[in-house]
Amino acid sequence: MYQALYRKWRPRTFDDVVGQSHITDTLKRQVAAGRLSHAYLFTGTRGTGKTTCAKILSRAVNCEHPVDGNPCNACPACLGIESGSILDVLELDAASNNGVDQVRALRDEAVYTPAAVKKRVYIVDEVHMLSTAAFNALLKILEEPPAHLMFILATTELHKVPATIKSRCQQFAFKRILPGDIALRLSYVAQQEGLALTEAGAALLARLADGGMRDALSLLDQCAGPAGSIGEQEVLDALGLAGNLETARLMEQIGAGETAAALETLSRLYGAGKEVGSLLGELSALARDLLIRRTAPQGGAALLTGGYDETTLRKLSNAFQTQRLAQMLGLLQGAIADLSRSSNRRTDAELCLIRLCDPTLDESAAGLNARLSRVEALLAGGIPTACAVPDPPLPRRAAPQTAPAAEPAAGGDPADRPPWEEERAPRPEAPGAAGREPQAAPQTARSVRAPTAVPASSAPVCGDLWPGLVAALRGKVPMGEYTFLNNPSLVQGRLDGSQLVLWVESDFVKSMVGKPAILETVSNAASAMTGGGIRCIVSVGKPPQAAPEAPVSPPAEHDRLDDLLAFEAQFDNIIIKE
């Protein structure tokens, strides 16, 4: 009769237990020295060796010829305990024997001395399932047991065990087994069983086992075929998984917002027999790796699953922001949790993919935070090109007519002059302006059209040059101060002749941006952009409103209000699209 691999290859001595040397060494020393406790509590996740070590310990304390703390597994006591013929060693399942009556019967029976071995041992598995009354009934005998009695309690949920029980036991915490140790054990078992397990296949099975040796052996048993090698692709096909290459390609499509391509990939994998829950789980594991790599690029390397190479992780990591990855991970975890209650798992998986590809469909706080972070990242590098107010179609004015002799004295057409030339050029009504020769205006490439001429006392740099000036300051000033300069609700720039006034919202903001080094950097950048010497000062309050004056530009020109309205409409459109 065929026996499952995890039962056939269950360790029989402490030395055979993999990955729990911190526990097995201690138990071996206690058995060899005879310094045994009357109660042990084994805790840890599934498949890490709790029940196995409990059975080995029950044989070791009753073995007639122990070998360095290990049972010999050859004497009548070891053989009888292993076969179950000796009733002095009992293994109980607390899930089905959790009532107070069962525990009372156990307590009444435990006072009798063993008939065939030295110690009567009770192994209580999943002890956290006992009721409160059952725990209370167990408490007294656990506190003052007879010399011949030993309890070994095992649980996967330590927080459900009362503190009064834990305080009367020696507690041992079983840790998850490392993937490398699991892979070595799988290779050994496969060699003994005549299975052609490749190194890549063993590594993949070890990662899928999630730290449990029993799960790893069960997966190997599932993938074992009549002939042929067991490689990575064979494991993926047998377990219905998509594979790292397909998962990485699907993540690239999500990052690019290619909803149709992502749905086609899901349909192809679904048609090939892949399970949608496993596919979402692989996407979740990849998103977790990318999130850990972005938040802890140095120390987080040991936390990665190890299923993807550095080139793939770097490429995918650059395509997502931290907030976006957190939002995606939340969506995937929620979808995976809901699949067990779904009436149509494929539809739920497709809906999850659509939301991942289009963040605007996620109206949760995490989704809005991800979209806001992207907009902030775009603004941190200056106004996006799509936000720039487009130049008006040329020509906008009527055909040129014969101008009076004094017309050139105004310094040329206001629409053809850069804003810094408007500040230094003589005004049309200034005395002595007549008779001056017009000068050619310098040509400067700008992403935003220069606004029409306004009085110098209120000509704001932020109307045309302030966003570019702030973008030019990125990297030249510390990020803390740059955050304030880049926030128009806290800092606004106004050019008054050769003086740039930074109107700030409070004294605290003034203390941040009013440092001499910061002002000097801003002055140098403004001077470089305007072509003249600009001095920068800081003032607390709101910038003064411009006094109403007669328009100095032709009526056909767009004024600054129209420019700002157009800019606002286009910027809102970008935010909605993002």
**Of 274 and 184, which is predicted with more confidence?**
184
The 3-state DSSP class for residue 151 equals strand
Of the pLDDT bands very low, low, confident and very high (cuts 50, 70, 90), residue 29 is: very high
Residue 571 to residue 389: CA distance in whole angstroms: 10
Give the pLDDT of residue 309: 67
Across the range 273-302, mean pLDDT stands at: 83
Give the pLDDT of residue 299: 64
- pLDDT at 456 > cutoff 90: no
Least confident of 6-20, 116-130, 491-505: 491-505
Give the pLDDT of residue 547: 53
Question: How many other CB atoms are there within 10 angstroms of residue 226's CB atom?
Answer: 4
**Of 156 and 374, which is predicted with more confidence?**
156
Torsion angle (degrees, nearest 10) of CA 521, 524, 529, 531: 170
Of the pLDDT bands very low, low, confident and very high (cuts 50, 70, 90), residue 170 is: very high
Q: What percent of the chain has pLDDT over 70?
A: 76
> Two tokens at 52?
């196995």
Single out the residue of 377, 373, 371, 353 nearest to residue 251, CA to CA: 353
| Cβ atoms of residues 126 and 156 within 8 Å | yes
Across the range 512-528, mean pLDDT stands at: 84
Ramachandran region of residue 184, left (φ > 0), alpha (ψ -120 to 50) or beta?
Answer: alpha
**Of 490 and 40, which is predicted with more confidence?**
40
| Cβ atoms of residues 276 and 339 within 8 Å | yes
Contacts of 9 (CB under 8 A, 6+ apart): 189, 217
Of the pLDDT bands very low, low, confident and very high (cuts 50, 70, 90), residue 570 is: low
Print the SS3 string covering 476-496: CECHHHHHHHCCCCCEEEEEE
Q: Which residue, chain included where needed, has tokens 């086992």?
A: 209
The model's pLDDT over 378-432, given as tens digits with 9 standing for 90+, comes to 666 554 444 444 444 444 444 444 444 444 444 444 444 544 444 444 444 444 4
Give the pLDDT of residue 360: 81
- pLDDT at 307 > cutoff 80: no
Across the range 279-293, mean pLDDT stands at: 88
Across the range 68-86, mean pLDDT stands at: 90
Give the pLDDT of residue 282: 87
Q: How far is CA 47 from CA 39, 51, 58, 141, 178, in A?
A: 22, 9, 19, 29, 13
Contacts of 314 (CB under 8 A, 6+ apart): none
- pLDDT at 544 > cutoff 80: no
The model's pLDDT over 546-557, given as tens digits with 9 standing for 90+, comes to 555 444 444 444
Of the pLDDT bands very low, low, confident and very high (cuts 50, 70, 90), residue 153 is: very high
**Of 177 and 424, which is predicted with more confidence?**
177
Mean pLDDT of the chain: 77
The model's pLDDT over 97-123, given as tens digits with 9 standing for 90+, comes to 778 888 888 888 888 888 888 889 999
Contacts of 145 (CB under 8 A, 6+ apart): 38, 39, 110, 151
**Of 54 and 486, which is predicted with more confidence?**
54
| Cβ atoms of residues 45 and 81 within 8 Å | no
pTM (2 d.p.): 0.57
Least confident of 368-377, 431-440, 539-548: 431-440
Q: What percent of the chain has pLDDT over 90?
A: 19
The model's pLDDT over 458-482, given as tens digits with 9 standing for 90+, comes to 344 444 567 777 777 877 888 777 8
Print the SS3 string covering 368-413: HHHHHHHHHHHHHCCCCHHHCCCCCCCCCCCCCCCCCCCHHHHCCC
**Long-range Cβ contacts of 89-92 (<8 Å, 24+ apart):** 89/58, 89/62, 89/117, 89/120, 89/121, 89/123, 90/121, 90/122, 90/123, 91/51, 91/54, 91/55, 91/123, 91/125, 92/122, 92/123, 92/124, 92/125
Mind listing the domains of the chain with CATH numbers?
A: 5-174 (3.40.50.300), 179-239 (1.10.8.60), 244-380 (1.20.272.10), 452-543+555-578 (3.30.300.180)
Give the pLDDT of residue 573: 54
Q: What is the largest CA-CA distance in the chain?
A: 129
